[in-house]
Amino acid sequence: MITKYTFGQPINTGATVKQIPVQDEFHTGKLLSKWPFNWEYTLAPQDKVFGLGENMRGINKRGFKYTSWCSDEPHHDESKSSLYGAHNFILIFGKETFGLFFDTPSRIDFDIGFTKSDVLSVSSQDTGINLYLITPDTQEKAGLLNIVQQFRELIGQSYIPPFWAFGFQQSRWGYKTEQDILDVVQKYKELNIPLDAICMDIDYMEEYEDFTIDKSKFPDLKALSQKLKKDGIRLIPIIDAGVKVKEGYSVYEEGIKNDFFCKKADGKTPYTAGVWPGRSHFTDFFNPKARLWFGKKYKVLTDCGIEGFWNDMNEPAMFYSDESLKYVSEKLKNTDISNLDINSFFEFSGLGETTKNNPNDYKLFYHNVPENPDDPESPSKLYRHDQVHNMYGALMTKAAAEGMKQIAPGKEILLYSRASTIGAHRYGGIWTGDVNSWWSHLEQQIKMLPSLNMCGFLYVGSDIGGFSYDTSRDLVLRWTALGIFTPLMRNHSANGTRLQECFRFEHPEDFKSLLDLRYSLIPYLYDEFVKCAKENKMMFKPLCFEYPEDKIAAETEDQLFLSDQLMIAPVYKQNASGRYVYLPEPMTKVLWQNSKPSLQKMEKGIHYVDVPLDSVVFFIRNNQSVPLCKPAVSTEFIDRSEVNILS
């Protein structure tokens, strides 16, 4: 059952698709203050708290504090409380079991047994909250899956990408020209390694201007895209949130003419911040007309045969603003460097960093927020950006999705974004941003998957091999072995780091074997994905969602059920030749090596399982089976008619 309560002056975020009548009194836990919202709940020793989508730490979020504030956060480490997404759904499991969705575009803080180990507290002070309390309709499996299902019904069906989006994507911030891309494709071809897409990072644009193509590097994008498509390979260009301020640049000029950019407090001056193109303006995606305008701009690329996009920098990330630069420059001018004491030295040396995503900058511009998010004629109210911050990236994705309906009607388009909030799960997927080439980050990605699924994000994946820093061959292999199972499977890395495409390492045939497994599984993965989207189910489930009474399952966070048929137990430690795996029921172990499966029945219990570096191990659940088709070099060439059923 779902009940709804309101606090403060909630904004219609469009996150939900069902009408629920509002109740007066919220009796769960202790409401310390209605507004600013301040709520507490006493956690029993056994209580676990799940949810919060894209975030650090465990599947059980207990023991730390989290803040929903979409952040350009390349330094994911355990001290961080916010990443790119703001996913305000929590699921409490224990003495009482219920879900809560805090529908707000504003910052909201979750202290989950951090300040006091037995207190969960939630607080927020800008705008308002539509709060949904979800209690189980069944006691089956402690009601956990039921609560998620009810919640997902409330927020509407998750985005379903085209079939080819389950193919392997190769990306690199560093492909600069058509030739760079052709070289990568050629290498994959030579080695017979499957490939479905190449991502185009910001260097394809002219001076990082959205919706431009640098002709000196890509003389004929349409011809390139057609040529590649013959081999079943598609291009996926990036689009950044900021629009370059430049006379003569049509996107800038149209945006100004139509008043589509966010403005400062004076209501006149467009807000300016520095991102990749230099000084840029930001489209007011809250304005339905501006949204459609921006969305239709993708036509420059769809006209070239492009069928997929990734939206970046849409928290929005800001390297600097006019204001923050001025502050730093004045500080520098006024600093007497002839005699710095140690505190002034640290302030001085840290000055440059203070301009990046500076909290003050988010208070300098405004949005016109319509009462009805989809109706440009509905009355609107002005909000300062920081009060509605968490919707910005989500609305950029919505802009692209709305644009596609007009510029590519009837076509399935792949969309994924960096920033997101619940609601955006209906318009596109997400990738989990700038993870480092660290084993700990591989582990983190395993734990994020079920949390993202709870919040409606099904088309998800991480940068295979890690984005920042130099990777190692074994890390790419182990990360690929996880990526085989995630809907978005993309190897991506940062400019200046070690090259990490599959063909860069010794024994590329080991990578081929892994990708052969992916392609053998794609029809199965895609069908399960569609089922999970349509039936509001999680594709990745923590063990305890199926075995809520099982003590070991309850604390196993590095294994996941994949839909109803499989269990995965990725290796995420360097130099490990295998790992301990807990089987809460008898299963069949599948060892995939040299592009072939071998099967072994296993009893319930804890086992040490060998997982050689060139292999993948996964488990078929009791009385279940999984169809494998023949591997293909692209999803275009997958033959679904011939399958090998493993059980």
Residues near ligand MIG (CB under 6 A) are 173, 201-202, 238, 312-313, 418, 433-434, 492
Complex with ligand MIG: residue 434 or 510, whichever CB lies closer: 434
Complex with ligand MIG: residue 209 or 312, whichever CB lies closer: 312
Could you tell me which of 411, 245, 262, 240 has the C-alpha nearest to residue 403?
Answer: 411
Compute the least distance from the CB of residue 63 to ligand MIG, in Å. Answer: 28
Compute the least distance from the CB of residue 171 to ligand MIG, in Å. Answer: 7
Complex with ligand MIG: residue 239 or 364, whichever CB lies closer: 239
Other beta carbons less than 10 A from residue 247's beta carbon: 7
Compute the least distance from the CB of residue 278 to ligand MIG, in Å. Answer: 13
Compute the least distance from the CB of residue 59 to ligand MIG, in Å. Answer: 24
Distance CA 20, CA 410 (A): 32
**DSSP one-letter code for 502:** G
Complex with ligand MIG: residue 58 or 242, whichever CB lies closer: 242
Complex with ligand MIG: residue 61 or 217, whichever CB lies closer: 217
Other beta carbons less than 10 A from residue 17's beta carbon: 12
Edge to edge, what strands does the sheet with 429-431 contain?
A: 460-461, 429-431, 414-417, 308-312, 234-240, 197-200, 168-170, 489-491, 463-464
| N-term to C-term CA, the chain | 37
Cα separations in angstroms, 288 against 159, 238, 311, 395, 555: 20, 22, 18, 10, 45
Complex with ligand MIG: residue 278 or 376, whichever CB lies closer: 278
Are 563 and 587 a contacting pair, CB within 8 Å?
Answer: no
Complex with ligand MIG: residue 90 or 318, whichever CB lies closer: 318
- Verify cis geometry, omega within 30 degrees of 0, for the bond prior to 36: yes
Distance CA 177, CA 200 (A): 9
Compute the least distance from the CB of residue 435 to ligand MIG, in Å. Answer: 9
Complex with ligand MIG: residue 288 or 487, whichever CB lies closer: 487
Other beta carbons less than 10 A from residue 346's beta carbon: 11
Compute the least distance from the CB of residue 325 to ligand MIG, in Å. Answer: 18
Complex with ligand MIG: residue 448 or 560, whichever CB lies closer: 448
Distance CA 389, CA 11 (A): 12
Compute the least distance from the CB of residue 33 to ligand MIG, in Å. Answer: 38
Compute the least distance from the CB of residue 237 to ligand MIG, in Å. Answer: 11
Complex with ligand MIG: residue 207 or 374, whichever CB lies closer: 207
Distance CA 148, CA 97 (A): 12
Complex with ligand MIG: residue 88 or 432, whichever CB lies closer: 432
Distance CA 569, CA 588 (A): 13
Complex with ligand MIG: residue 110 or 173, whichever CB lies closer: 173
How would you classify the pairing of strands 85-86 and 420-421?
Answer: parallel
Distance CA 534, CA 522 (A): 18
Compute the least distance from the CB of residue 416 to ligand MIG, in Å. Answer: 11
Residue whose pair of structure tokens reads 């609560």 in the numeric block: 147
Other beta carbons less than 10 A from residue 62's beta carbon: 19
Are 333 and 246 a contacting pair, CB within 8 Å?
Answer: no
- What is the biggest distance separating any 2 CA atoms in the chain, rounded to whole angstroms? 78
Complex with ligand MIG: residue 357 or 513, whichever CB lies closer: 357
Taking the alpha carbons of 39, 45, 50, 52 in that order, is the dihedral positive or negative? positive
Please name the residue ranges forming H helices in 191-298: 221-230, 250-257, 288-297
What's the CA dihedral at 121, 125, 130, 133 to 10 degrees?
A: 10
Compute the least distance from the CB of residue 463 to ligand MIG, in Å. Answer: 7
Compute the least distance from the CB of residue 202 to ligand MIG, in Å. Answer: 4
Are 571 and 578 a contacting pair, CB within 8 Å?
Answer: yes
Distance CA 431, CA 493 (A): 13
Beta bridge partners of 597: 592
Compute the least distance from the CB of residue 31 to ligand MIG, in Å. Answer: 39
Compute the least distance from the CB of residue 500 to ligand MIG, in Å. Answer: 13
Complex with ligand MIG: residue 51 or 483, whichever CB lies closer: 483
Q: Give helix 144-155 / helix 439-454 axis angle, nearest 10°.
A: 70
Segment holding 520, helix H or strand E: helix 508-534
Compute the least distance from the CB of residue 321 to ligand MIG, in Å. Answer: 16
Are 441 and 575 a contacting pair, CB within 8 Å?
Answer: no
Beta bridge partners of 619: 567, 589
Token pair belonging to 413: 């388009």
Q: Is 394 left (phi over 0), alpha (psi -120 to 50) or beta?
A: alpha
